[in-house]
Structure 1
Amino acid sequence: MMKPKNLAIVVACAALLSACSGSDDSPAAVAHPLYAQSNETDNAVLQFERNADGTFAPRARIATGGKGTNGVDHVNKGVTGPDSLSSNRSVVVSGKRLFVANAGDNTVSVFQIDAATGTPRLLKASPTGGTLPTSVAVNNDVLYVSHQQGGTVGAYKIGVDGALTKIGFYTLSHPDAVLTQVEVSAGGKSLVVNEFLSELATRAPGKTLTTFPIRSDGTLGVPSTVQSSGAGTLGGRFAHGKLSNAYVTAEAVSGSLSTYTLDNGALVAKSGPVIAVGQTEPCWLVITPDNRFVYTGNGAGTVSLYALDSEGRATLVTPVAATEAPPAGVASALAADAWISPDGKFLYQDYLGADKIVAYAIQPDGKLVKIGEQAANTASHVSLQGLDGI
């Protein structure tokens, strides 16, 4: 019989060997990162780490290899201020890749995400061939980019090394139109483009939604257009699962939200415009994974809450589900890009005028309870843009 002392030594050694072996039975560390971009002259990804309770903390700043606008706003003719990109989805996670639009030097950066730490490693910053890239969408190995100046959308093959190769370039309704978002439908058969202003020179509110069929090689076919229900559409998202053909838009000029159904490659109006009573400039939006709730980030510095029914129709629940006070001398905290955790428990919200990101716990009725915030600490204190996570 083995003596107790010897048995203890054997057990200790076995435990040490097991720990060192990295056995498949041992749970691997999984990162839960959140990403934004500083949009500074020397642009950087701002990485945060999310905790199980929804709180989060800064982890790293990683150079994009490209340049941001540092808060200079093309739409407002060179004024420096919050929302300098006037777009939704300038930062996008797709699989193990992170994509960031660098509007300051007309490039898009492609990163590889480390599965254990969530830290993105820059692969390549590639020129898009357009001016002021501000929104990106991914479909398999093809990237789509809308440009704020020139009314153009580009399609690019994504290389293994992260390099982008142009495979198509498309001009929309008017070369002076301000495009604010590209979004790929579920199944990857359609690309929707939102038009915020029909012409920058006249500043006429855009009322056009353009849908391109996506060909098997990733290039785009002949587009169809529809007049939007509200005016000045900035952000848009497809819902999930059984509602993945429902497209929801936030309309800044008319202060509203509308929904559509994607039917045989064309958008058909479903509901709206639903007015966010008392609020101004609902521009950005996110949808909970169960499709029950939609949140819009508003230029007023508030977040509005809407409900979706099983058919994709929207109703207003409350015009102010969350709000943040602006810093001294700033007109609005300006609620912008947002992201919802995959489990649907937490909402993370950019406040561009306050240079920070705020975390909220989503309640069963959709109401929001603030649980934390982190400063972005951008150089201009107004250049923060984009938000996505894992």
Structure 2
Amino acid sequence: MQTNEPVNSVVHYLRSPDGMITELGRIPTGGAGSGTFKPISGQPSAPNAFEGAASVILSPDRRFLFATNGGDNSVSSFRVSEDGGLALLDVKPTGNAVTGRSGTAKSLAYAPASETLFVLHSFGPDHVRLMSVDGEGRLSLRLERYSVNTPDKPHRVATMVALSPDGRFLFVGTTFDEPPTANPDGSAILWVERDGQPKSIASNEPDPDGLIVFPVAADGTLGAPSFHDAGGGSPFYIAFLHGRPDTFVVGYAVGDGIVMGRIDADGMVSFGPLTPINTSAGKPSELCWLSVSPDDRTVFATNFGYSNISSFQLDGGAPVVAKDPACPRVPGDGSFRALNGTVSSGPSDNWVSPDGAYLYQIYGNASKLVGYEIQPDGSLEEITSVSIPYNSPQGLAGV
């Protein structure tokens, strides 16, 4: 996990067979995080400062770990030893200049065939930048740059980048069609007036173009993007299934549920129906992060606004709610309110262990990383908790 503090570090944890975790150390990234500052909303202190996901990733061969530095728009690479220890190899700028208090480098995907690292930024026009990774893990910036803007949406806010398992397509999720303005309490305003009518700034709502797919060439360069109806408002998180490489699940920050989708050999995307959670606590739930169990039977979805997790069963068709919520609400310190007005602990990234036995969840406003034992019915039983920095931490990756 990265601390995302102004002097950024990656925290190394040891996971024991019973699911307990112990912090072993913190390794500086050589770059700057955004700290508690949230660039998208301008809030001086709020959890999930990136409004993104996958800011810490491992290469498929587990030789390298990559982490964004959102404060100064740079990326760090580390060598991973057999015992999980990290050694900093390199840190390089993404090529996007920092304007204001922080940069917005937020999400990573890696294509081992071309040794290309894709770096996503919240703000464009150059949302996606490319880096090459040599055999020793050193980084070099490439000249290519790509946007998810459209002619009528020149200021879109991107969220997450994900590479299809065959490496042929790069997916980009979005949150807003334009940066939100803020209420006096710092909360985001999701509506603007257009032609005398209120219009949501949540992406894909109402304009059905919130999911962007780029074809990926053999050298890692991207072709012309296609814009797709993502099936719900603010398609935040994209997670491919382990055993079905053409199938993925999308979590919606404003749509308040998940959808199963498919991509064919030509890059055409199709979606099933949206499976919502119970939103009686207020909309939106900000269902943002997903983890898929190794057997592809269960999806765990983090509800940023509700301070808890919901679980879904996948049985080949549309997802079915398993447990909603799957765990008790984790309270924060009472200082942060979500978009629906509820006091939230701001949970963000999560991770399921490779044996499918445990799930780990960041609760930034509660300063906790919580570990759960996964139950057969999709519920979660808390078994461990460790202290983490307040509001800023981002990203989870493990082996």
Same fold (TM over 0.5): yes
Distance 2:5 2:141 in 1: 26
| Preserved contact between residue 134 and residue 145 of structure 1 (Cα < 8 Å) | yes
Shift in Å, 1:366? 2.0
Corresponding position of 1:54? 19
Give 1:364 shift: 2.1
Is 2:266 aligned against 1:268? Answer: no
Q: 1:77, CA displacement in angstroms?
A: 2.1
Instruction: Tell me the SS of whatever aligns to 2:291.
Output: strand
Unaligned runs of 5+ in 2: 97-102, 182-189, 191-200, 205-209, 336-342
Name the stretch that deviates more: 98-107 or 199-208: 199-208
Q: How do residues 1-390 of structure 1 correspond to structure 2 at under 5 angstroms?
A: 36-94=1-59, 95-116=62-83, 118-130=84-96, 131-140=103-112, 141-151=115-125, 152-159=127-134, 160-173=136-149, 174-200=153-179, 203=190, 204-207=201-204, 208-241=210-243, 243-278=244-279, 280-299=285-304, 300-311=306-317, 313-330=318-335, 331-376=343-388, 378=389, 381-390=390-399
Amino acid at match of 1:179: A
SS, match of residue 309 in structure 2: strand
Task: Report the alpha carbon displacement of residue 167 of structure 1 after superposing the two structures with TM.
Answer: 4.7
TM-score normalised over the length of structure 1? 0.86
Q: CA deviation at 1:274?
A: 1.5
Measured at CA, do residues 307 and 63 of structure 1 come closer, stay the same or move farther in structure 2, by a change above 3 Å?
Answer: same
Per-residue deviation at 1:351?
A: 1.0
Give aligned pairs, total: 349
Query: Whose helix proportion is higher, 1 or 2?
Result: 1
Q: Tell me how far apart the structure 1 counterparts of residues 392 and 86 of structure 2 sit (CA, whole Å).
A: 21
Distance apart, 1:227 and its partner CA: 1.2
Change in Cα spacing, 1:189 to 1:70, as seen in structure 2 (3 Å) is same
Q: Counterpart of 1:32?
A: none
For residues 110 and 355 of structure 1, the distance between their equivalents in structure 2, rounded to whole angstroms, comes to: 26
CA contact 2:361–2:371 (8 Å) conserved in 1: yes
Of Structure 1 and Structure 2, the greater strand share is in 1
RMSD (CA atoms)? 1.5
Deviates more, 1:268-277 or 1:204-213: 268-277
Identify the residue that residue 19 of structure 1 maps to in structure 2.
none
Distance change in 2, residues 1:328/1:78 (3 Å): closer
- Cα offset for 1:269? 3.1
Q: Indicate the SS of the match to 1:231.
A: coil
Per-residue CA deviations over 1:265-318 (Å, capped at 9, x if unaligned) read 43533323211112611011110011100011111101001111225x212122
User: Shift of the alpha carbon at 1:154?
Assistant: 1.2
CA displacement 1:63-93 (0-9 Å, x = unmatched): 0000001111111124321111000111111
Bigger-Rg structure (1/2): 1
- Determine the C-alpha separation between the residues in 1 that align with 2:180 and 2:288: 21
Post-superposition shift, 1:171? 1.2
> In 2, Cα distance between the equivalents of 1:183 and 1:255?
21
Q: Which amino acid aligns with 2:120?
A: S
The 3 A distance-change label for structure 1 pair 181 and 267 is farther
Residues 131 and 139, structure 2, Cα contact 8 Å, conserved in 1: no
Indicate if the aligned counterparts of 2:64 and 2:137 stay in contact, CA closer than 8 A: no
Q: Is the 8 A contact 1:230 1:272 kept in 2?
A: no
Q: Which runs of 4+ in 1 moved over 4 A?
A: none
Match of 2:197? none
